[in-house]
Amino acid sequence: MALWSHKREFIFKAVEEMYTDVASRPGAVFHFPTGRLACLFVGYPAEQLDCLPEEATESFAGVGYPFAADVIREGDAVLDVGSGSGTDTLIAAMLTGPSGVVYGLDMTRAMREKLQRIVAAKKIRQVRVVEGNAEQIPLPDASIDVVTSNGC
């Protein structure tokens, strides 16, 4: 068990360092696509991206377009696991409307802080930025209607 714990800690540290870099240096080149062009490449409609702050999409590092399933409804409680800078969290907030709530869960402090700045600047009341990861979700059981995760 100690070996797994050491490997797990090593992996989490490496992931946090990499996504801290993506959050703080969004124009840098990484070994995976990032930013608005990556969003467009995986299927996000440009019109939807145009409604988002550039600060959110510039650090996007997802692998698909999770909204194609069209399952989020007005008033839903949504959990975005690995929310990063908030591209999917903010889209989910538009879909839930002001009567919903969207939790942006991320383990990387730089990404959470970036999303929190966006939420505060845009006065988006239905978004909650939460520290955690897919293994430890600090929300009550049965409190979420829809879960999304994009490459986490």
Could you write out the three-class secondary structure of 22-85? HHHCCCCCCCCCCHHHHHHHHCCCHHHHCCCCHHHHCCCCCCCCHHHHCCCCCCCEEEEECCCC
pTM attached to this predicted model: 0.95
CATH class of 2-62+70-149: alpha beta
- Cross-strand bridge partners of residue 18: none
pLDDT at residue 9, rounded to an integer: 92
> Identity (one letter) of the amino acid at 139?
L
**Greatest CA separation found in the chain?**
49
pLDDT at residue 2, rounded to an integer: 73
Segment-wise mean pLDDT, segments of 10 residues, the chain, 152 residues: 80 96 96 96 98 98 96 98 98 98 98 98 98 95 97 86
Residue 104 CA to residue 40 CA, distance in Å, equals 21
pLDDT at residue 3, rounded to an integer: 73
pLDDT at residue 1, rounded to an integer: 57
